[in-house]
Structure 1
Amino acid sequence: MTSISPRLPRPRLLHAVLAAGAMAMAMPANAPRAVAADTTSFTPAQRQEIVGIMRDALKNDPTILSDAIAALRSSANAAQQNAARSALESHRSDLLTPNASDAILGTATARTTVVEFYDPRCPYCRKVLPDLDRLTHEDHDLRIIEKVIPVLGQGSLITSQALVAAFIQGGQDAYFRMQRAIMSDSTAPTVERMRALATQSGLNATTLATDMNGPKVTAILQANMDLARAIGLDGTPTFVFNARQIIPGAVDYDDLKKAIAQNR
């Protein structure tokens, strides 16, 4: 997966575990668990003793630290999943109802909806394209709504603008012709290169270049980005299955098919 935002650095997690462990071990055995220890009331000698206890405990039983880290990770994952479910529910209509500007693979009226957020410059997005074509050819009750989002810099913005401009010019067919040209192209993306690819794809290159910086293209890309942020997307590609499950990364054909079946 092409990542957008960095993960939490591990040292911060380690510091949190050690601090929590020190506080817990300093509390009397009969102290109410709901009351946190007030570390500001410890004397320097008491703090030194706490550090010694922690060192001895970790030296004699290293699993204390690994168990604490595992517990924190589990808690963080659960919180993340809850947040994802809440976001999907809040934006259920946005994810299940295609916009007039959305390109759709498969049957437009299908009951099963997969939304793919992708960047035309993302190598993983390019790699998964054949699997998406295969899935929609095999499953006639499946539609894949494609939402292009430029997250990898200026080259991504140029190619994303060209794709949306192609859709505005000629609808679904023009979009997918331009998509095939862009996502199989290894030349550095420039406006002139987009003009050349548009001509190869049977489109009006001058109109496409003009529309790329127009208000319609800007509004569509902004709406895609807003929805991506709203559901907590942090990389491309990201797939959303029937507004119930999010799977980030270049999932292979078998895993995509399994997720589709599970979310019907």
Structure 2
Amino acid sequence: MTRSTLRALLTAGLVLLAGGAPAQEAPPGFTAAQRAEILSILRQALREDPTLMREALAGLEEADRRDRSEAQRAAIAENAEALFRDAADPSKGNARGDVTIVEFFDARCGYCKQMQPAMDALLRRDPNIRVVLKDLPILGPNSVLASRALLAAQRQGRYVPLYDALLSLRGEPTEAVLRQQAERAGLDWARLRRDMDDPAIAARIERNLGLAQRLGIEGTPALVIGTTLVPGAIELPALERLVAEARAAR
């Protein structure tokens, strides 16, 4: 039996074991005798060459990664309208850019702040990118407060200046801090504070949370670039590579 056949058999055996079927029961598609034979062959192969296990596990991880990628691409396609073409969403960059990046972020998220210089550098280097900003306040009450302030600032045409200020902020976005940052960004605080309590703003945040859930997003930042979902902060070279791939796929 060739090494590749043994590796494939071991992978199948791991799948059987992962299914949790009792030893006396056969999983669907296998008889009890076939299952016993597979496990016997696996035990013998592992005694002779323990490295087969590592290779089989790597194969399972790669298959799992492919499955997740396919599921994510399907979810992006199903939610493309809400992701890329919601006219209510704030954005940065070129409104007519040929590549759109959707950024789910929390204004309190340290990794979002860490990635922000790379995003700004990307927009300076590539004038044909649009970045759609999706508030995803998942880190507590001050995150929600900051998102409400940002979406209220959009009504005064000052979303991006306040966004830039909050992503540079090192302290907590308490109401007092938000007022200070909003006034520095040229916002009417009294109007902003009233708008923050508008149920329509709370509804927009809920829509973003629902969209993130449908995409399987579990943290911030999360980027959608073309058909790729990127969980977590990445550096400028990776951003540029993903933009180039999205542009080539158009």
TM-score range, shorter chain: 0.7 to 0.9
1:190 matches 2:171: no
Structure 2 contact 183–189 (Cα < 8 Å) conserved: yes
Structure-2 separation of matches of 1:136 and 1:22: 50
TM superposition shift of 1:87? 0.6
2:204 corresponds in structure 1 to: 220
Structure-1 separation of matches of 2:142 and 2:121: 28
1:86 matches 2:74: yes
Structure-1 separation of matches of 2:126 and 2:39: 61
Secondary structure in 2 matching 1:19: helix
Q: Stretches of 4+ moved more than 4 A in 1?
A: 20-23, 50-60
> Which amino acid is 1:221 matched to?
I
Q: TM-score, normalised by structure 1?
A: 0.75
2:60 corresponds in structure 1 to: 72
1:143 matches 2:130: yes
Pairwise CA RMSD of aligned residues?
Answer: 3.3
1:181 matches 2:165: yes
Structure-2 separation of matches of 1:22 and 1:196: 58
2:191 corresponds in structure 1 to: 207
**Unpaired stretches in structure 1, ≥5 consecutive residues:** 1-15, 28-32
1:234 corresponds in structure 2 to: 218
> Which amino acid is 1:76 matched to?
D
1:255 matches 2:238: yes
Q: 1:17 to 1:62 in 2, by over 3 A?
A: farther
Structure 2 contact 225–242 (Cα < 8 Å) conserved: yes
| CA deviations over 1:203-223 (Å, ceiling 9, x no partner) | 122222222232121011111
**Unpaired stretches in structure 2, ≥5 consecutive residues:** 1-13
Secondary structure in 1 matching 2:142: helix
Q: TM-score, normalised by structure 2?
A: 0.79
Secondary structure in 1 matching 2:194: helix
TM superposition shift of 1:59? 4.9
| CA deviations over 1:121-179 (Å, ceiling 9, x no partner) | 111211222222222233222111111111112221121111111112x12xx112212
1:5 corresponds in structure 2 to: none
Structure 1 contact 107–140 (Cα < 8 Å) conserved: yes
| CA deviations over 1:189-241 (Å, ceiling 9, x no partner) | 32232222222222122222222232121011111112212222122111112
Structure 1 contact 194–209 (Cα < 8 Å) conserved: no
| CA deviations over 1:60-114 (Å, ceiling 9, x no partner) | 53234323322321221121111111111111222221422x2211111222211
2:17 corresponds in structure 1 to: 19
Question: Share of identical aligned residues, percent?
Answer: 33
Secondary structure in 2 matching 1:236: coil
TM superposition shift of 1:115? 0.9
Paired residues, number? 231
> Which amino acid is 1:137 matched to?
R
